[in-house]
Every structure is written in structure tokens, then in C-alpha cells.
Chains A and B, each alone.
Chain A
Amino acid sequence: SAVISQKPSRDICQRGTSLTIQCQVDSQVTMMFWYRQQPGQSLTLIATANQGSEATYESGFVIDKFPISRPNLTFSTLTVSNMSPEDSSIYLCSVEGEWGNYGYTFGSGTRLTVV
């Protein structure tokens, strides 16, 4: 399965600022997924990022708040913009498994605290 490196692992940010989270995969993947995990909660999909096209956002998430870049088949970034304390969460990137093996792999996550 793919190995995902996610940075930063944690950060404490001031409200009103932005943070960009990086996700690097050790193999080429078509789709990358960004999830949010609020404290003590399950995972909610933010958007799906396909290389060379605009990300597809889930209901409740908008591009202005969570812009995503996908410059190549091994890398993606998620920016959390104009942060408020409600954005304090763990943000995770994920990739699907190789063809025939649908085991989605997750990065270790970015624990964001907004003060």
C-alpha cells in the first residue's frame, strides 16, 4: 500500500490566518482525498482532488475556505483559510489502493488548533 507523508503534524494558529497542509505519496495515485476529523468525532470528507482538474467539494465545504492544489500525481495541499476556533480539527489526506485493492491509506494527520 502507498506510504503517505503529511506535514505539519500539528500546529497552533491565530484566528484569521491560513495554514497549508502538505500530503506527499510515495507512488502515483489518481485520486487524493482530504478529510476533517473534529475532536472526538468521525471522519468527514472535505473534497476529492484529481490531478489536473478542480477539486470536488462535499456539501458544507467551499473552495474559498479550503483551497486545494494537486500539481502532480504524488502531491497535494489543503489550505485552511481565515481560520476560526471552529476549524480546530485533525485534517487527513487519503489515497485509494491500487487497482483491485481498494484499501484506502491515510496519512498520520495534521492536528490543528486555532486560538
Chain B
Amino acid sequence: GENVEQHPSTLSVQEGDSAVIKCTYSDSASNYFPWYKQELGKGPQLIIDIRSNVGEKKDQRIAVTLNKTAKHFSLHITETQPEDSAVYFCAASISNAGNMLTFGGGTRLMVKP
């Protein structure tokens, strides 16, 4: 089955700096790659996703890049703010109906004011 590795497990940045979180996946059939943000006491919230027919996607301060050949994808957050502090999870899926997500181990991002 699919295996998703995520690095780093913790990341501390100064407010205004950029943060990058990287994930690799094992199943070349995976074609859908979402990123989730989980704040304390809450369920994961989808922040951005990318499909395998696209190399990059941006949404304001957040971007995701995908390298299908190398089987890795990354989350980029620019101009970080204290409210970006949370745990971030990457995931991979073969996007047909009913295919479940396989999650990475998570990255705890701390943005220092």
C-alpha cells in the first residue's frame, strides 16, 4: 500500500519568514495530494490540494509543488504569521470514489512573533 513520509516533524520560523514542508510517497498510482492544517482541539482542515496533472498550485500565501517523477510534493507558506502555527499533514490518494487518504506523520509548525 501507499506510504507517505513527511519532513520535518517540527519547524520553527520567525514571523514573516517562509516555511517549507516536504513529503514523499511510494505509490506511483497516487494522483491526489491534499494538505491539512490541524489546530489544537480541532479536526484537520483542508488548506490546499493538487492533482497529478498539475505541477504547482497557489492560494495567496500558500503553494504546493508536485514532482511526479521523484514522487515528492511540498507545501510552501510565505510571510508566515503566528496564526499559521499548527500541525500540518500531507496525504496521498488514488482519486477514485472511495479511495482513502494515506497521511504523512505531520509537521508541527511554530511561528514566533
A: which residues have CB within 8 A of B? 1, 4, 6, 30-31, 33, 41-45, 48, 50, 92, 94, 96, 102-109, 111
Contacts and interface: CB of A to CB of B under 8 A. Distances in A.
Interface of B: 32, 34, 36, 41-46, 49, 51, 89, 93, 95, 97-98, 100-106
Given A42-B89, A102-B93, A108 B100 contact: no
B89 A102 contact: no
Contacts of A92: 43-44
Contact of A104 (B41, B101, B105): B101
Q: Interface on chain A toward B: helix, strand, loop, or mixed SS?
A: strand
B96 to A, nearest CB: 9
Contacts, number: 55
B98 A42 contact: no
A53 to B, nearest CB: 11
9 contacts: A1-B46, A41-B105, A43-B103, A50-B98, A92-B43, A92-B44, A94-B101, A102-B34, A102-B95
B98 A30 contact: yes
| Minimum-distance CB pairs A-B, first 5 | A106-B43, A108-B43, A42-B103, A43-B103, A31-B98
B6 to A, nearest CB: 8
A40 to B, nearest CB: 8
Contacts of B44: 43, 92, 106
A43 B36 CA distance: 11
